[in-house]
Structure 1
Amino acid sequence: MGDICYGVVSKKGKSPPCESSQRAARLRRIEIRRCKPSVATPERENGQKRQKLEHTPSSELLSRDCENAVENSIWNGEQIGSGNGKSEAKKISVAKQSSIMHPKFGSASVCGKRRDMEDAVALHPNFWRKGDGLHYFGVYDGHGCSHVATKCKDRLHELVKEELESREGLTDWESAMERSFFRMDREVAVRDADVSSPNCRCKLQPPACNTVGSTAVVSIITPDKIIIANCGDSRAVLCRNGSAVPLSVDHKPNRLDELNRIQAAGGRVIYWDGPRVLGVLAMSRAIGDDYLKPYVICEPEVTIVDRTAGDEFLILASDGLWDVLTNDTACGVVRLCLGHRAAGGEISEKACSDASTLLARVALARQSADNVSVVVINLKKR
């Protein structure tokens, strides 16, 4: 308990008795402060440095604290601090950010002149958490009914993920994609009535019919590669340095190598409103369609290309678009749309969605008679 002092300062200016005790208390506090650990803060004579710190926003101070926490933390048993540790901490933070970020993309699907919508679109950025920056996009064009395309939308990316995990790395993309497509084909072959959607026409044809299938064009975007797996007549087109680069070739029955394969298996290609397998199916590869095996197979063709600084965007679309638009025309429409929508050098997801919608509208304006599904993925790196 502190001393209470009573008295009046004398006219001669002598200090009261309590002043000496107050000085002693100050001296004790000074000694205590000297014993406490402190952080030296550089201070200029005019106090500008202290004033700057006092007016620093709290969010900025919080971010500095987070950086310091990363730099002084322990990673895998090693201290991250000064020197090389700072660069390691930055690498860790960049890796964490890259796993969260994904390329801008947009999609559009329209029924068009068809009675039913049988297309499906899969959009799965960062679909595999064990891989840094892996993004999955797919377009599935169903025929006969919608349930095979819907099943591919719900399951194919999961099968790809399982294959990658079983192989413990990204060593063989071609084998992983082929295995995933074969497994998907087996899953749709054992479909029962409960799997179909409420609007599925197959409910009117018990037991489950085997005359339903779907094309599949799948793209996996990595930080340095573009992997395309295509089965059917959907298509992937890359715009690189202003030019259209097809990354898949349509599986049509009149394609020379496909025609030879079908005939070698004992099948025929009959022209009925275009070339068709046994006069029925207008494509030579698809998931499902058990009644046309072994002439129609589910094996995809896999294309792997390295990403370059000139890559602008990737288009995945069903044949409802490609029946009425060339690769160059489609890329020109998207470039025009993204060029008008870009603000400050950045392309937003709305711009990609607008480009996809514009492509679908152009296809309808050109009298496309099929469902139209489009995915546009921006590939420009920041």
Structure 2
Amino acid sequence: MGQTLSEPVTTKESSVCQSKLYNVASCAMQGWRISMEDSHTQLLSCPDDEKAAFFAVYDGHGGARVAQFAGMHLHKRVVGNEDFAKGDIASAIRNGFLKIDEDLRNDEETKEQMSGTTAVTVLIKDGKIYCGNAGDSRAVLCEQGKAIPLSFDHKPTNDEETQRIVAAGGWVEAGRVNGNLALSRALGDFIFKTGEHIKPEEQVVTAYPDVVEVELTRDHEFIVLACDGVWDVLTNEQVVWFVRNRLASGVTPDKICEELLNRCLAPDCEMTGVGCDNMTVVLVCLLQGDTPEEYLERVKRKSIVDEHEFGELYQKPPGGSMPNSEAELLKSIQQQITMQLIGRMDDYGLDDAGDSHSHESDDIQEIDDEDTDKKEEKSEEEEKKSKEDFVTPSQSPESVEDKSSAQTLGDDAPPSEFMVPAAAIKDDTKKE
């Protein structure tokens, strides 16, 4: 955790750009940190290849220079690589990361600095998404409401990362490389890249990226790239839910980015430090030929489950709650569904209570009082057990009856509409 200010800098630098294929917005905020060390790139078409789009987020540490340098030049190293011309985009991304690291080592302003940056990049070309990543910034794809990770954090405690670090002569202490750096891959940080007889990808800290490839389809709605200032606060699923429901409500991408950073900003930095970092987000809306209006309608339409299925209106946010307007909208839809069901009951000759409209009581056999009492006692026991068997995902079964604790879960507590059986939660845990 770096040094922090007494008050956060909440001024935001936002930008938007659009083509027939993409509607892109970004937002960066210094927050509680004493300086802004993030950088980002958004290119609807690359200078050397108009069919290739490139987006990236760089989370610098030890200064902003490395992140800024990468933001200006990494895409050139990728697109300009000979493998790119051959159609081997993944190889071009890997080579581009290593080449920009060489450039940084030869740069007079960065080679002696103990500074570096994460790098998460998304390149889209010929119907494919390519994500290159080194560090713990992250990219997530929304596929019909599902959060599909395009990158995975590189932490020193990961088994594969630890093995490389130790093999190169380093060690992991308190979750950090040599007790210092909280990342195991990064651009720059040349103090951790001193092995003379080992390859760049074998160094204690390496710039060598993982690359994930995904075929682009109409089910893909948007991509979120962000630094850990966002991902330390919200999960992949929560961010996708946050963005998707605002798109479905007609909120513009730039406004969504700003709201997301506001959501992640901590009220103070006296406790864990979560929410006190620099924050940068790039939101890539995948228009795929639709106008922005058609795109928003498509997202909204996909956000609503076929009403004949009588499903939930929105995907449940894991550990999160709905904004009031969305909760009210869901409640309204549920009420309409209930009315339709009641109408169907009428068609079958049932009233609201589910009783037959026939009132030929003479044909009904009288029930013994003792049997009635037993059934009522059994019903009460089943009702009590049913209440005990239901908990919210954020509560343990023991805490359900404590209403005061349920009210103090904060904004991220799921609404009561999303109550699920405790047994189901236990089964999911076993499967994991």
Give the TM-score taking structure 2 as reference length. 0.57
Verify the 8 A CA contact 2:21 2:286 in the aligned structure 1: no
- Mapping for residues 172-321 of structure 1, pairs under 5 Å: 172-193=88-109, 209-271=112-174, 275-293=175-193, 294-321=203-230
Question: Aligned-pair distance for 1:361?
Answer: 1.0
User: 1:182-233, CA deviations, whole angstroms, 9 ceiling, x for partnerless residues?
Assistant: 111011112224xx8xxxxxxxxxxx63311000000012241110000000
Any gaps of 5 or more consecutive residues in structure 2?
1-17, 194-202, 268-273, 291-432
- In 2, Cα distance between the equivalents of 1:168 and 1:223? 12
SS at match of 2:184: coil
Verify the 8 A CA contact 1:102 1:135 in the aligned structure 2: no
Alignment-derived partner of residue 279 in structure 2: 372
User: 1:151-201, CA deviations, whole angstroms, 9 ceiling, x for partnerless residues?
Assistant: 0011111112211xx3463521121011111111011112224xx8xxxxx
Alignment-derived partner of residue 169 in structure 1: 85
Corresponding position: 1:109 with 2:28:
yes
Verify the 8 A CA contact 2:48 2:80 in the aligned structure 1: no
Q: What code does the residue aligned with 1:149 have?
A: A
Q: What code does the residue aligned with 1:277 have?
A: V
Report the CA distance shift for 1:168/1:313 in structure 2 as closer, same or farther (over 3 A): closer
User: 1:342-376, CA deviations, whole angstroms, 9 ceiling, x for partnerless residues?
Assistant: 6xxxxxxxx11112111111110475121110000
Moved over 6 A (4+): none
RMSD of equivalent CA atoms: 1.8
SS at match of 2:107: coil
SS at match of 2:42: strand
Q: What code does the residue aligned with 1:120 have?
A: S
- In 2, Cα distance between the equivalents of 1:116 and 1:341? 34
- In 1, Cα distance between the equivalents of 2:235 and 2:86? 33
Q: What code does the residue aligned with 1:187 have?
A: D
SS at match of 1:160: helix
Q: What code does the residue aligned with 1:234 have?
A: S
- In 1, Cα distance between the equivalents of 2:282 and 2:246? 14
User: 1:121-173, CA deviations, whole angstroms, 9 ceiling, x for partnerless residues?
Assistant: 111111145453x110000000000000000011111112211xx34635211
Give the share of equivalent positions with the same residue, in percent: 37
SS at match of 1:117: coil
Which one of 47, 50, 59 corresponds to residue 141 of structure 1? 59
Which one of 215, 227, 240 corresponds to residue 331 of structure 1? 240
User: 1:251-285, CA deviations, whole angstroms, 9 ceiling, x for partnerless residues?
Assistant: 000111111111121210000xxx10000000000
Verify the 8 A CA contact 1:285 1:297 in the aligned structure 2: yes
- In 1, Cα distance between the equivalents of 2:85 and 2:79? 11
- In 2, Cα distance between the equivalents of 1:170 and 1:312? 29
Alignment-derived partner of residue 159 in structure 1: 77
* Structure of higher CA gyration radius: 1
Which one of 33, 43, 53 corresponds to residue 124 of structure 1? 43
User: 1:219-249, CA deviations, whole angstroms, 9 ceiling, x for partnerless residues?
Assistant: 0122411100000000010010111111111
- Mapping for residues 13-162 of structure 1, pairs under 5 Å: 101-128=20-47, 130-132=49-51, 134-162=52-80
Q: Which has the higher contact order (CA 8 A, sep 6+)?
A: 1
- In 1, Cα distance between the equivalents of 2:99 and 2:218? 35
- Mapping for residues 326-365 of structure 1, pairs under 5 Å: 326-341=235-250, 351-365=252-266
Give the TM-score taking structure 1 as reference length. 0.64
Q: What code does the residue aligned with 2:120 have?
A: V
- In 2, Cα distance between the equivalents of 1:221 and 1:298? 21
Q: What code does the residue aligned with 1:184 have?
A: I
Report the CA distance shift for 1:129/1:296 in structure 2 as closer, same or farther (over 3 A): closer
